[in-house]
Amino acid sequence: MARPREFDEAAALDAAVQCFWSNGYEGASIRELASSMGIAGASLYNAFGDKQALFNRALARYVDQSFQDRARRFERLPPYLAICAFFEEIIARSLADERRQGCMLVNSVFEFSLHDDAAQAPIIDVVKQIEAFFRGRVEAGQADGTITDAQSVEDLARLLLGALMGIRALARLGPDRELLEGIVRPIMSLLRGDETLALPDLDRHPV
């Protein structure tokens, strides 16, 4: 008969989130993770598997408590207002980040860029979830007339994804309200159809 675990798995996982978030994947050693989680190394492996498996679990918990929680709340709003509220909250959180930890997901995007496909897979999956959220809101907004249909759903969703990643990355350099809000304002105008942002024709204007 298997012995019951003698620790709070949810609390241990929350501690792992904080350890990875503060130190990054490479910087968080098994010893530091076990110590922060309040368990022995053997218990860590038995409960969560290897370091990569633990990171995947920690990332999933972080995403559930951040992006997925936000998406669940804002999906109840009209689509254009949902996107506005999403970015308002992101900017507020970025400005309140006195330690400049940034976003665990965005930090991981940069750290895992040189890792193999298997290590990148859970991060890519979350990025796709965020893009899907934006795509759903844009599609709904085009259907009710609050978001322009002059641009494709896919392009607008990717623009919003890029803005989110850029805001979270730039905020680590130094939270600046004007900078962060200046990224969002023209994008929200574009969604309303007030402006058109387009890339130049590089065939006609070679770099």
What is the tens place of the pLDDT at every residue in 79-132? 999 999 999 999 999 999 888 899 999 999 989 887 888 889 999 999 999 999
Report residue 204's pLDDT band, with 50, 70 and 90 as the boundaries.
very low
> Which residues in 50-76 are b (16+ Cβ under 10 Å) and which e?
ebeebbbbbbbbbbeebbbebbeebee
Please tell me which residue, 42 or 141, carries the higher pLDDT value.
141
Tell me the chain's radius of gyration from C-alpha atoms. 20
Which residue, among 109, 100, 86, has the nearest Cα to 164 in the 3D structure?
A: 86
- Output the six-digit token pair for 11: 């609390």
Estimate to the nearest angstrom the gap between the alpha carbon of 4 and the chain centroid: 34
Mean pLDDT of the chain: 89
pLDDT value at residue 25: 94
pLDDT at 206 over 60: no
Q: Residue 118: what residue type?
A: A
Task: Mark 187-204 as b/e (b = at least 16 C-beta within 10 Å).
Answer: bbebbeeeeeeeeeeeee
Which of residues 12 and 114 earns the better pLDDT score? 12
Q: pLDDT by residue (tens digit) across 145-191?
A: 999 999 999 999 999 999 999 999 999 888 899 999 999 999 999 99
Query: What's the predicted TM-score (pTM) here?
Result: 0.87
60 φ, ψ (degrees, to nearest 5)? -60, -40
Q: Mind listing the domains of the chain with CATH numbers?
A: 59-192 (1.10.357.10)
Is residue 4 pLDDT above 60, yes or no?
A: no
* Alpha-carbon dihedral angle through residues 47, 48, 49, 50, given to the nearest 10 degrees: -130
pLDDT at 43: 82
